[in-house]
Chain A
């Protein structure tokens, strides 16, 4: 598909997701209390949108990933939260 066709197909959806994201950051601004590492992680991952190459999705994911290579000593939880604490 060419760029025009892709814009026809996805522009409104992308626009809506962008506004949702902006509203989410506004909501966090208006709220009280401390944020945690997830806010920093998301803010930092946003920078990947300005990459000049077509690898933005890959790099947003990498940015939110644990980059270490050694297995952890033991699993203390089963859940994942979507961002890696030690990077923030």
Chain B
């Protein structure tokens, strides 16, 4: 089995996780910028984090022969402070030329507030001006349905944004249709309690097809499973999907979307 982990917060994981993922067939790992679990107190804190994502973490992954990529942003959980967010967004362009950067993410909404929306629009503008791919985080639990609708409105109202260059992550049964119908890619996040199980992800593949869809573990510092993607692949096999169908979902689909960035797997091109 080979797979790409398109969404994992490896700065929060132990080295053994790298080893396990490589042993399970992981061919590349992509790390969106994320909330640390506490608020960073200044733009300098984000500067250091962006250095970690573009310098230190790729070196850590390389020890296991694993290509590491990242996405940059200030995450929606820290977007209530628009002044801080504006300063952090101002730091991002100088990192966009680094070889492992794939685009702007994970941007989006958390509690669906006005300031979060403002900061989302700033990020979308940044991505459009720099011709970057976009990875979107949709809110948790009761806020997801509303937030997904608001996010789609923002993306669709900017004529510079091409839906095939945006992935809307953490979809579930009540949001996947609106994302795919609007022409975007959709990500299914495999979390034991708060998002999607392997069985439900296979349900959605059966119902909506496997185009413009990927699966990720979104493993971070919370309860999450770094090997969730290979486990979901096993569930696909249990449900009668062929090895080719599994390969499409966990390897070829992320490869297809991410290859829209010239940086992704550039050593293989």
Contact = CB atoms under 8 A, between A and B. Distances in A.
A62 to B, nearest CB: 5
A81 to B, nearest CB: 7
A69 B149 contact: yes
A83 B142 CA distance: 5
Given A58-B174, A80-B141, A84-B142, A74 B80 contact: yes
A66 to B, nearest CB: 5
B114 A82 contact: no
Interface in B126-149: 139-146, 149
A75 B141 contact: no
A61 B145 contact: yes
A78 B77 contact: yes
Contact-size category for B: 20 to 34
Interface string A46-83: 00000000010111011011111101111111111111
Interface string B236-247: 001110000000
A72 B116 CA distance: 10
B253 interface: no
A69 B35 CA distance: 25
Interface stretch (B105-113, B160-168, B209-217, B260-268): B105-113
B145 A67 contact: yes
Contacts of B141: 64, 80-83
Given A57-B200, A58-B173, A61-B172, A81 B142 contact: yes
A65 B146 contact: yes
25 contacts: A57-B173, A57-B203, A59-B174, A62-B145, A65-B174, A66-B112, A69-B146, A71-B116, A72-B114, A74-B80, A74-B114, A75-B80, A75-B110, A75-B113, A76-B111, A78-B77, A80-B111, A80-B139, A80-B141, A80-B142, A81-B141, A81-B142, A82-B194, A83-B141, A83-B142
Given A66-B143, A67-B145, 8 more contacts: A66-B145, A72-B113, A74-B114, A75-B80, A75-B111, A78-B35, A78-B111, A84-B142
Interface of B: 35, 77, 80, 110-117, 139-146, 149-150, 172-174, 194, 199-200, 203, 238-240
When A and B form their complex, which 6 residue pairs have the shortest distance between CB atoms, in order from nearest? A75-B111, A65-B145, A80-B141, A80-B140, A61-B174, A58-B173
